[in-house]
Structure formats: structure tokens, C-alpha cells
Chains A and B, each alone.
Chain A
Amino acid sequence: MSKVQIFSLIVSILLALVIFQLIRKKKLKEQYSLLWFLTVIVMLVLALWEGLLYRISSLLGIAVPSNALFMLAILFMFVMSLHYSILVSRLTDQTKMLAQQLALLDRDIRKEHESKTSADSDQGS
């Protein structure tokens, strides 16, 4: 096993442990953890199976295998941030709806309270 393989192996295992710990502490939803575990598995496979990266790069017509790796990694990150953008948009929309609903309910409670206090003072007089 080459030096770089051992290094990649250690990094992958460390990442897997971090993700597992995050799930255990409930800081990461399982939905996302699956994706990150998948990422770590891909890293592991690439680290252990030496020939795979060469095959992929020649398949894509990329001369230097490391470039193929970088390209795939950047592509993956791009898709991930796009995914987060969609997610943030949805959350923003939901927050907006909640804030509006809160404003409406807040008004209703105030009205209810006002009519109650005025009814009370009517009884008192």
C-alpha cells in the first residue's frame, strides 16, 4: 500500500467518524448523513482501488488522473451548494409564511384581549 493510499484511507475514516459522531449528537439529520457517508465511501473506494481513478480519467479523456479527481470533486461541491441554495430558498419561504401568520394571529389575540377587557370594564361600571 502506497503512502498516498494510507493517507487517503486515514482521512476517509476520520471523516466517517466525524459524521457518525454528528449524527449521534443529533446535529445532523439522517437525510444528509446518508449523502455524506456515500461521499466517504466513494473516497474510500478511490483510495483503495488504485486503478479506478486511472480508468475514469482515461474514460473522460483527461490526461492527468488527479485532474479527473479535482473535476469530479468540484462538480460534486457545485451540486451540493446548488442543493443548499434550493433548501435555503424553501426555508426562507417557510419563515416568511410563519412570520406573516404570526402577525395575523398576534392581531387576533390583541383584538380578543381588547374585547375582553372592555367587556370586563362594562360589567364593572
Chain B
Amino acid sequence: MADPRVLVIIPAHNEADSLADVIADIRSSLECGIVVVDDGSTDHTAQIAIEQGVELLSLPFNLGIGSTMQTGFRFAHREGYDIAVQTDGDGQHDASYLPKLIEPILRGESDFVVGSRYLTDTDYSGSRGRRAGTAMFSKILSLMLKQKLTDATSGFRAADKALIAQFARDYPRDYPEVEALLVAHMAHFRVREIPVAMRQRGGGRSSINRFRSVYYVVKVLLALLVVASRRRTPRVES
């Protein structure tokens, strides 16, 4: 791929504290465009994005992570980017892995690359419930995709141009990570995991509490069932 244009999409909901550092890390790791999609933040997330001189897409109210990411994909599609990377705004993802994350796409070996915490022995622990949920979804997806997946809930991932077009049209609404993998597979995109290290979330304020986690599991299982019941569609080139 000659001189590919890469866009890093940062979905951000009240990430003013960490956003500047995240942007600095990305800039030092990869030559790329950066867009912050502000999901109706009530702090000065948007202001920081402007100060840092990155692209800013400001949603008028909170839409949730799925629709926020889709906004980024729509922008990437419209601006003709070759690769779109998703990375969290809280500094959980280590930007130094960005070149590795897009490498399989650059080599034409994969269309959808996911950074996995569990592919090698990393010191990332996370809560036990979260690990169990991720392990279960990874197991189910491994069976459905007939390939080994270890971190289906990872939000550190890269999509190629055709997949950008697909996600710009249609992207799962909430808790999208697991479902997006299956959607990509059903549309004949090649999925691949690479090992990454992730940092612990500062302060441990995960957005998923106990009641929500039950809803999360049920919702994702239902979504997988629905997606799997559809016919596999031929891959649409952008």
C-alpha cells in the first residue's frame, strides 16, 4: 500500500483529564490523522481536542460508544482514509503498539486487527468478572469464526478501507466490540489478533457496573444470535 492514510479515532466521553496525554502518545508513535469524537461530554473534552489541534467531531448529546465510533467511521469514510484505528481516550491503550496494530493491514494479510491483552502473558489483570466475560465472548466468537480469539471485547483495533465503509453504514449501537467482530466476519473480512499490553484504568472507574454487566452479556449474546442468523454477505469494496 503506497503511503496509506491512517486515522486514529478516539471516542471520548468526559476524558478531559487524560486526552492530552493520549494524543501526545499517538503523535509520537505514528504519523496519522487524529479525530476525537466527543460523545456529549460535560467537561472540557472538546476544548482540549481543539487546543491539541486534532480533528473534533462533537455529538450534541450522549449516543453511546457504538454510535460514537460510527461517527468516526463516517468521517474516515468521507475523508477517504485507508485505515481507521480505534483507541480509548482514557490512556488504557498503549499507543506504541499502533504501528504493530496496522501492520497486518499494510501487508494485506488482514482487514480487521484487534489488539489482545491475553494473547501473551501480560500483567494486565482487570476485574475477575470482566475477564470471565471477555473469555466467554472470545470462546463463542472463536467457535463462530472458526479461528482462535482471546480478547473479543478489546477496544483497541484497526479496520481497513472497505471495513471503514461497512462500519460507516452500519455499526452496533451499544457494547459494539464483540458484535462488530462477527459483523465483519459475516461480511467476509479477515479478522486477526495481535498481542498488546494495556495499562490499568486509572482510578478503576469502569463504565460497567454489576447490573449493567448482566444486561451487557444478555444483549451481546442476543446480538450475536441475530447477526449469525443473517446470511453471510459478499464483501463490498469501497
Show the binding face of A for B, using Cβ within 8 Å.
Answer: 96, 99-100, 102-104, 106-107, 110
With most chain B CB atoms within 10 A of its CB, the pick from A96, A100, A102, A110 is A100
Q: Chain B residues near A104 (CB, 8 Å)? A: 57, 71, 74-75, 78
Number of interface residues of B (CB under 8 A): 16
Establish whether residues B55 and A103, one from each chain, have CB atoms under 8 Å apart when the complex forms.
no
**Nearest CB of chain B from residue A99's CB, rounded to whole Å:** 5
Bitwise, B56-96 to A at CB < 8 A (1) or not (0) is 11111101000100110011001000000000000000000
Whether the Cβ atoms of A103 and B78 lie closer than 8 Å is no
Please state if A103 and B67 are interface contacts (CB–CB under 8 Å).
no
User: Which residues in B have their C-beta under 8 angstroms from that of A99?
Assistant: 59-61, 63, 67
**Is A100 in contact with B56, judged by CB distance below 8 angstroms?**
no
Majority DSSP secondary structure for residues of B touching A: mixed
By a CB distance below 8 angstroms, the chain A residues around B55 are 107
Interface of chain A, main secondary structure: helix
B6 within 8 A of A: no
Min C-beta distance of B217 to chain A, whole Å: 22
Extra 9 A-B pairs, beta carbons < 8 Å, given A96-B67, A103-B58, A107-B55: A99-B60, A99-B63, A99-B67, A100-B59, A100-B67, A103-B37, A103-B60, A104-B74, A110-B56
